[in-house]
Amino acid sequence: MITPEILKQNGFTVIMPTNHKGWYWTEKNGVFLSFDIKTGTISTCHIPNKESGTGFRIHDGGEISVHEIPLIKVPNWWRGEIPKLYSSVQEFIESQKWCKPYIL
């Protein structure tokens, strides 16, 4: 399982919501990903919009290593416009006020 500690060891910035239902992480390329503890799924995160929502599921659960996770903006099946990404960790945190996230 991908843990916040493993992500940090691999150079990612890890963002923890206070509801502890998962976590978010990012590199410097502006791609934010989320992990859901209950389902084990991994999804992209972007600024919400009517066409593509808040992100795309890119892993349906099960074992995966940190090196196998695609750091993508959108999955290859997406045919719409590329959603606007968060410009910084701070912008992402401010957009998630409902779960009061903090940098681990």
Q: What is the pLDDT of residue 27?
A: 79
Check pLDDT > 90 for residue 43.
yes
pLDDT tens for residues 45-68?
A: 999 999 999 999 999 988 888 888
Q: For residue 25, what pLDDT is reported?
A: 92
What does each C-alpha distance from 89 to 8, 10, 24, 35, 77 come to in angstroms? 15, 17, 10, 16, 27
What is the overall mean pLDDT for the chain?
89
Domain residue extents for the chain: 4-103
> Looking at residue 64, what is its pLDDT?
87
Q: What is the pLDDT of residue 1?
A: 72
For 23, what's the count of Cα atoms within 13 Å in the CB-facing half-sphere? 18
